[in-house]
Structure 1
Amino acid sequence: MQTPRRVRDLGITVGTLPTGPLNALTDVPGVRVGQTTITGDGLNTGVTAIVPEGWEDTLPAAVAVGNGYGKLIGSTQVDELGVIETPILLTGTLSTFRVADALITWLLDRNPHATSLNPVVGETNDAHLSDIRRRPITPDHVHTALNTASSALPAEGCAGAGTGTSALGFKAGIGTASRVVGDPGAGGGVVGALVQANFSGLLTVLGAPVPAPGIDADGNSCMIVVGTDLPLDARQLGRLARRAIFAMARVGSDYAPGSGDYAIAFSTSRTPNYADRDLRTPFQAVTESVEEALLNSLTMAQTTTGFENRTVQAVSHDLLVDRLTAAGVI
Structure 2
Amino acid sequence: MATPQAHPARARDLGLYPATGRTGDHNAITDVPGVRVGHTTIIRAPRIRTGVSAIRFGDEVSPGRALPAGLSVGNGFGKLIGATQLAELGHLETPIVLTSTLSAFRAADALLSWVLDQPGNERVRTLNPVVGECNDSVLSDIRARPVRPEHVLAALDEADRGAVPEGSVGAGTGLVALGFKAGIGTASRMIEVDDDEHTLGVLVQANFAGVLRVHGRQVRPPTPSAPQPDLGSCMVVLATSAPLDGRQLSRLAARAVFALGRLGGAYTHGSGDYAIAVSTSAGRLPPPDRALSPVFEAGLDATEEAVLNALVAADPVTGPGGRVVPALRDALG
What range describes the TM-score normalised by the shorter chain of this pair? over 0.9
Secondary structure of the equivalent of 1:8? coil
Give the C-alpha shift of residue 15 in structure 1: 6.3
Distance in 2 between the 1:88 and 1:155 partners?
Answer: 17
Distance in 1 between the 2:297 and 2:180 partners?
Answer: 27
Amino acid aligned to 1:71 = K
Please show how residues 248-259 of structure 1 align to structure 2 within 5 Å. 248-259=260-271
In the alignment, which residue of structure 2 is the partner of 1:9? 13
* More displaced 10-residue stretch of structure 1: 5-14 or 186-195: 5-14
Q: Which runs of 5+ in 1 are unaligned?
A: 323-330
In the alignment, which residue of structure 2 is the partner of 1:140? 150
Amino acid aligned to 1:23 = N
The answer to whether the 8 Å contact 2:76/2:272 transfers is: yes
Q: Which has the higher helix share?
A: 1
1:31 aligns with 2:35: yes
Distance in 1 between the 2:17 and 2:263 partners?
Answer: 13
Distance in 2 between the 1:25 and 1:253 partners?
Answer: 22
The answer to whether the 8 Å contact 2:189/2:298 transfers is: yes
The answer to whether the 8 Å contact 1:14/1:292 transfers is: no
* More displaced 10-residue stretch of structure 1: 260-269 or 298-307: 298-307
The answer to whether the 8 Å contact 1:14/1:288 transfers is: no
Moved over 6 A (4+): none
In the alignment, which residue of structure 1 is the partner of 2:308? 295
The answer to whether the 8 Å contact 2:240/2:278 transfers is: yes
Distance in 2 between the 1:108 and 1:311 partners?
Answer: 42
- Cα distance, 1:80–1:183 mapped onto 2, change above 3 Å: closer
Distance in 2 between the 1:13 and 1:299 partners?
Answer: 11
TM-score, scaled to structure 2: 0.92
In the alignment, which residue of structure 1 is the partner of 2:98? 90
* More displaced 10-residue stretch of structure 1: 207-216 or 122-131: 207-216
% same residue: 53
User: Deviations 1:144-191 (Å, cap 9, x if unpaired)?
Assistant: 00001001211100000000000000000000001110389x612011
Distance in 1 between the 2:244 and 2:133 partners?
Answer: 26
Please show how residues 119-198 of structure 1 align to structure 2 within 5 Å. 119-182=129-192, 187-198=196-207
The answer to whether the 8 Å contact 1:167/1:217 transfers is: no
Secondary structure of the equivalent of 1:91? strand
Q: Which runs of 5+ in 2 are unaligned?
A: 1-6
Amino acid aligned to 2:228 = A
Secondary structure of the equivalent of 1:10? coil
User: Deviations 1:18-53 (Å, cap 9, x if unpaired)?
Assistant: 111100000101100001000124110000000011
Secondary structure of the equivalent of 1:222? strand
1:281 aligns with 2:289: no
- Cα distance, 1:218–1:205 mapped onto 2, change above 3 Å: farther
Question: RMSD value over aligned CA atoms?
Answer: 1.6
1:51 aligns with 2:47: no
Secondary structure of the equivalent of 1:316? helix
How many residues are aligned here?
Answer: 317
The answer to whether the 8 Å contact 2:178/2:208 transfers is: yes
Amino acid aligned to 1:35 = H
The answer to whether the 8 Å contact 1:218/1:256 transfers is: no
Amino acid aligned to 1:309 = G
- Cα distance, 1:183–1:232 mapped onto 2, change above 3 Å: closer
Secondary structure of the equivalent of 1:9? coil
